[in-house]
Amino acid sequence: MTNKSIKSTVKYLYLMCLLTISYSGFCAAPGDTLRLTLQQVVEMAKGNSIAAKQAVTTRETKYWQWRTYKSNYQPQLSLSGNLPGYSKTSTPVIQPDGSILFQSIHYDNSAVTLNFSQSITATGATIYGMTQMQRFDDFDRNNILYNGTPYAIGFSQPLGQFNSLKWDNKIQPLLYNESKQAYIEAQEQISITVTGYFFDLLLAQINLGTAENNLISIQKILKIANLKFDLGKISKNEILQLQLEQLNARKAVGTAKRDMEIATLNLRSYIGQEGDDKIALIVPENISQMTVTTDKVLAEAFANRSDAIAFMRRVAEAKRDVALAHGQTGLTATLTANLGTSNSATSIPGVYRSPQNQQLLELQFSIPVLDWGRSKAKIKTAEANQQLTEYSVEQDKQTFKQQIVTQVSLFNVMKEQLTLTAEADSIASEKYKIARERYVLGDLSITDLSIAFTENDQAKRDYVQSLRDFWSAYYELRYLSLFDFEKNQKISYK
Question: Which of helix, strand or coil describes residue 235?
Answer: coil
Residue 362 to residue 104: CA distance in whole angstroms = 38
Is the confidence at residue 289, as pLDDT, over 80? no
Contact status, residue 110 vs residue 82, Cβ threshold 8 Å: yes
pLDDT tens digits for 56-76? Answer: 999 999 999 999 999 999 999
Q: Give yes or no for a contact between 425 and 417, defined as CB atoms under 8 angstroms apart.
A: no
Backbone angles phi, psi at 29, to 5 degrees: -120, 90
How far is 260 from 361, CA to CA, in rounded Å?
A: 81
Task: Please write the tens of the pLDDT for every residue from 197-210.
Answer: 999 999 899 888 88
- What's the pLDDT score for residue 238? 78
3-state secondary structure of 54: helix
pLDDT surpasses 90 at 492: no
- In angstroms, rounded to a whole number, what is the distance separating the alpha carbons of residues 21 and 254? 16
The structural domains of the chain, ordered by start, are 3-68+169-316+385-490 (1.20.1600.10), 80-120+125-161+333-367 (no CATH)
Task: Report, as an integer, the average pLDDT of 13-38.
Answer: 52
Question: Could you read off the pLDDT of 103-157 as tens digits, one per residue?
Answer: 888 989 999 999 999 999 999 899 999 999 999 998 888 899 999 999 999 999 9
Strand partners for 91:
103
